[in-house]
Structure 1
Amino acid sequence: MSSASLTTAGVVLLTVFTIAIGGFSLLAHIGRRLPGYLDNPVRRGLWRAGHAHAGVLVIFALVALLYVDQTDLSDGLKALVRTLMVAAPILMPLGFFLSVVRPGDTRPNKLIYLTGLGGVCLAVGTFTLGLGLL
């Protein structure tokens, strides 16, 4: 693995700490029966989706990084793929969480578009990586 991929993997691994904090936060909302979570199905659903997507996408990014250096892509495209693979597990969950940050929010705000941006990063990154491996 190249030093660039190892550094990127290190950044991805550091995000696991934030996922753990998010999980603790969700448990605190449930355990303390804090208003705005259990009584707000929109917020509860989006926060659960954000936490789940974060965990899955971090694992996916780490696996994808193992393949980046095996491609015939240019150094610039390899750097782009690394960046996109890190952006997806950050942007998508942020969109889920920040779109209903206030306990009374019953509809997502415009920050929900971060989830779509994260999805585009994921799609472009994986497509480019896949092409590079063919």
Structure 2
Amino acid sequence: MSPASLSTAGVLLITVPAVVFGGVTLLRFLMRNVPGYLDNPARRRLWRAGHAHAGVLVLFSLVAMPYVDQAALPDPVKTLVRLLIVAAPILMPLGFFLSVARPSDTEPNRLIGLTFLGGASLAAGTLTLGVGLL
């Protein structure tokens, strides 16, 4: 792997404990019947979605890094692809979590837009990478 992809993979691996911590926190909320979580279906669903997306997208991003190095793309475009793919596991979970950050939130606020931004980032990065691999 290129040094840029190795560095990116290193950053992604460092985020794994944060995903684990998030899972432990959600488990603690369930076990201790924390107010504002079990009694708030919107918050419970969005936080569960945030945790799941974080874990899956971090793994996906790690898997994509060696492919970025193999793509027939100019180096600046490879850098952009890395950035776009890595932005998704940051933006999407943030949107899920922050859109119902307060225990009293029963509807997502405007920060849910971060999930769409993360999805667009992932789509653009993977589409560009796929074209570069063909």
Which sections of structure 2, spanning at least 5 residues, go unmatched?
A: none
The aligned residue for residue 49 of structure 2 is 49
What letter corresponds to residue 130 of structure 1 in structure 2? G
The aligned residue for residue 4 of structure 2 is 4
The aligned residue for residue 76 of structure 2 is 76
Percent sequence identity over matched residues? 69
Deviation at 1:19, TM superposition (A): 0.4
The superposition leaves residues 53-100 of structure 1 with CA deviations (integer Å, 9 ceiling, x where unpaired) of 111111111111110010110010000011111100010000000100
The aligned residue for residue 86 of structure 1 is 86
Deviation at 1:15, TM superposition (A): 1.1
1:89-128 paired onto structure 2 within 5 Å: 89-128=89-128
Number of residue pairs aligned between Structure 1 and Structure 2:
134
* In structure 2, distance between residues paired with 1:21 and 1:111: 22
Deviation at 1:31, TM superposition (A): 1.1
What letter corresponds to residue 67 of structure 1 in structure 2? Y
Moved over 2 A (4+): none
Name the TM-score, length of structure 1 as normaliser: 0.98
The aligned residue for residue 28 of structure 1 is 28
- Partner of 1:80, secondary structure, is helix
- The alignment's C-alpha RMSD in Å is 0.6
* In structure 2, distance between residues paired with 1:14 and 1:52: 17
Name the TM-score, length of structure 2 as normaliser: 0.98
- Partner of 1:35, secondary structure, is coil
